[in-house]
Amino acid sequence: MTISKATIEDIPELVPLINSAYRGEDSKKGWTTEADLLAGEMRTDISMLKELISLPNATILKIINEENMIMGSVYLDQQERGLYLGMLTVSPPLQAGGIGKQLMSASENFARANNCSNIFMNVISVRQELIAWYEKLGYTNTGEKKPFPDDNRFGVPVQPLEFVILEKQIL
Give Cα separations from 140 to 71, 120, 154, 165, 167 (angstroms).
27, 9, 25, 8, 5
pLDDT value of residue 155: 80
Q: How far apart are CA 63 and CA 74, in angstroms?
A: 9
What is the DSSP code (8-state) at residue 31?
S
Q: What is the pLDDT of residue 59?
A: 98
Mean pLDDT of the 26-48 span: 82
Domain boundaries, the chain: 2-120
Report whether 163 contacts 124 (CB < 8 A): yes
User: Region 29-54: what's the mean pLDDT?
Assistant: 86
Average pLDDT score over residue span 137-164: 91
User: Which residues have CB under 8 Å from 44's CB, separation 6+?
Assistant: 15, 18, 19, 87
Q: Which residues of 152-161 are buried (b: 16+ CB within 10 A; e: fewer)?
A: eebbebeeeb
State residue 156 phi and psi, 5-degree precision: -105, 115
Cα torsion for 128, 133, 138, 142, to the nearest 10°? -20
| pLDDT band, very low/low/confident/very high, at 128 (cuts 50, 70, 90) | very high
2-120 has which CATH code? 3.40.630.30
Average pLDDT of the segment spanning 47-56: 95
Q: In whole numbers, what is the pLDDT of the chain averaged over residues?
A: 93
Between these two residues, 153 and 99, which has the higher pLDDT value? 99
Confidence of residue 50 (pLDDT cuts 50, 70, 90): very high
How much is the average pLDDT of 150-155?
78
The C-alpha atoms of residue 27 and residue 81 are separated, in whole angstroms, by 31
Q: What is the mean pLDDT of residues 141-169?
A: 91
Whole-number percent of the chain with pLDDT over 90: 77
15 Cβ contact list (under 8 Å, min separation 6): 44, 45, 46, 49
**Confidence band (pLDDT; 50, 70, 90) for 41?**
confident
Give the pLDDT mean for 24-53: 83
84 by DSSP, 3-state: which?
strand
The SS3 assignment for 45 reads coil
**Looking at residue 153, what is its pLDDT?**
75
What is the 8-class DSSP label of residue 149? P
pLDDT at 25: 74
